[in-house]
Amino acid sequence: MRLCVSLAVVAALAGCDRGDSLESFGGPTMGSTYSIKYVRHAALAASDEVQAEVEGILAQIDRQMSTYRSDSDIERFNDLPADRCQAMPAAVLQLVRVGRQLSRASQGSFDLTVEPLLDLWGFGPQGRGEQVPEDEALARARQRVGYQHLRIDGDLLCKDAAVEVDFNSIAAGYAVDRIAARFEAMGIDDYLVEVTGELKAAGRKPDGSAWRIALEEPRDDRQVAERIIEIDGYGVSTSGDYRNYFQHDGQRYSHTFDARTGKPVEHGLASVTVVHPAALMADGLSTLLLILGPERGWDYAEKHDIAAFFVIRADTGFVTRSNRAFDRLLAGQKQ
């Protein structure tokens, strides 16, 4: 469903001091991959049953929310003309509500209906090559963008303009939360769930040590750890502009859009990581802060006590900055 910034999981895993085993599996999903690690003891379901549960959740989300398959619930809605409604699963309506919340919080900069813009610039599922569009084409596409054109009526999702919904900024975080909730219902308390780079970790590894996560330096040539953090009970999401972009006449254009302008963002914030109890909110908030940029994003995170880690481009390389909520949370995780 999207190409997103990955979070590298620190791979060093010690022996099983408690007699439990560390299980792991993964595979393709949402146009990228997923990876699962969990601690298994004798009372838990067999590992193939656990994997079947995970893949069932991912398959359901794909059927509901993928913009890369014409038969998904959201693509059937996107094909509708203006002034039409369609019955939707509760999960889709939940994400529309979350998207509306994030749109209002960003004064419309974050928006789930940017798919016509993504396609126009060449980043979307219907894109025809990366390009800087003409002003007239951009104006036409912007007429089909705006969260205010969506309305929920019971189990119906309605639109008063020919908008198209794209959940790529929050669907992976939602998938992580779904899997984590299913694990806890199955009695799996020690796990690290990662879907297309969004993740959540809880509990401990078999030797009692914490799950350790490497935050990447914003490089498009190789993976370099910028900082390593320990996580227990939190979702982690990084959004950045350094994996999906193109250059034209010396100008860099990323896949991160400000819906108010209809154009890719043009500021020095290379990436931002958010740590939040819900992976869904970490996913959405990291995108929101990236859109807002190094100043407005920082002020928003401070005002709303969002744990955030910023990587900003400077003349001499990158400058990192973590806010008080981030430092306080990470200090508490080590206790």
165 inside domain: no
Name the domain boundary from 95, 130, 159.
Answer: 159
CA torsion sign for 172, 174, 176, 178 is: negative
**Looking at the 3D structure of the chain, how many domains does it have?**
2
Q: Which CATH number is 96's domain given? A: 1.10.3980.10
Angle 41-45-49 from CA coordinates, rounded to 5°: 135
3-state secondary structure of 164: coil
Q: Please name the residue that has the structure tokens 């982690």.
A: 236
Last residue of a domain, one of 159, 190, 225: 159
Q: Same structural domain for residues 208 and 269? A: yes
196 within a domain of the structure (yes/no)? yes
CATH number (domain holding residue 24): 3.10.520.10
Residue 169 falls within a domain, yes or no? no
- Domain match, 270 and 310 both: yes
Q: Using CA atoms, how far apart are residues 231 and 295, in angstroms rounded to an integer?
A: 27
Residues 44 and 83 in one domain: no
- What is the model's pTM? 0.89
Instruction: Tell me the C-alpha distance between 161 and 152, whole Å.
Output: 14
Q: Is residue 3 part of a domain?
A: no
Residues 149 and 78 in one domain: yes
- 262 occurs within a structural domain: yes
CA atoms within 13 A on the CB side of 283: 27
Structural domain that includes position 106: 72-159
Within 10 Å of residue 163's Cβ, how many Cβ atoms? 24
Whether residues 205 and 100 fall in one domain: no
| pLDDT number for residue 16 | 42
* Phi, psi values for residue 111, rounded to 5°: -155, 135
85 lies in a domain?
yes
Tell me: do 142 and 212 sit in the same domain: no
Taking a C-beta distance cutoff of 8 angstroms, is the pair 78, 115 a contact?
A: yes
Q: Are residues 49 and 141 in the same domain?
A: no
Same domain, 142 and 123: yes
Residues 109 and 139: their CA atoms lie apart, in Å, by: 16
Please check whether residue 79 lies inside any domain of the structure.
yes
From 159, 184, 206, the end of a domain falls on 159
Contact 54, 63 (CB under 8 A): no
Q: Are 146 and 193 members of one domain?
A: no
DSSP string, 233-244: SEEEEEEESSSS
Is 168 part of any domain? no
> Are residues 47 and 105 located together in one domain of the fold?
no
Q: Does 89 share its domain with 46?
A: no
Which pLDDT tens digits describe the chain residue by residue (335 residues)? 333 344 444 444 444 444 589 999 999 999 899 999 999 988 888 899 999 999 999 999 999 999 889 999 999 999 999 999 999 999 999 999 999 999 999 999 999 999 888 888 777 666 566 777 788 988 988 899 999 999 999 999 999 999 999 999 999 999 999 999 999 999 999 999 999 999 999 999 999 999 999 886 665 544 555 688 999 999 999 998 755 555 555 566 567 888 988 888 888 898 999 999 999 999 999 999 999 999 999 999 999 999 999 999 888 778 889 999 999 998 877 65
Could you tell me if 146 and 104 lie in one domain? yes
